[in-house]
Amino acid sequence: MIACTLSNLELRSIIESAFLPLRCNCTVLEDLMTVEVIDPATEHVDLFVSNIALDSLDNSHALCVLIRDLQAELEKARHYPHALAS
């Protein structure tokens, strides 16, 4: 939870919406999140990032930085398919 203001469901919704029209699945287990971005036309996983610590998302700026970094990784992965994030 982000500084006791967002639930995990709200957090997932914000991140997943940031990748539309692609399909984004966020999974939260304990205090870690995994983000998977999938091209709905091909079902190809364009980005997979795991072990994102929820306690690092303690304010809205941190959430925006995470989304920006994930979008940059996605762009890199789509241009250089062998550079998929871990």
Could you report the per-residue pLDDT of 35-77, keeping only the tens digit for each? 999 999 999 999 999 999 999 898 899 999 999 999 999 999 8
Q: How far is it, in rounded angstroms, from Cα 55 to Cα 47?
A: 22
pLDDT for the residue numbered 3: 46
pLDDT for the residue numbered 81: 63
Mean pLDDT of the chain: 88
Q: For the chain, give the percent of residues with pLDDT over 90.
A: 70
pTM: predicted TM-score of the whole model, two decimal places: 0.83
pLDDT for the residue numbered 82: 62
Domain ranges, ordered by start, for the chain: 8-83
Greater model confidence, 17 or 2: 17
pLDDT for the residue numbered 83: 53
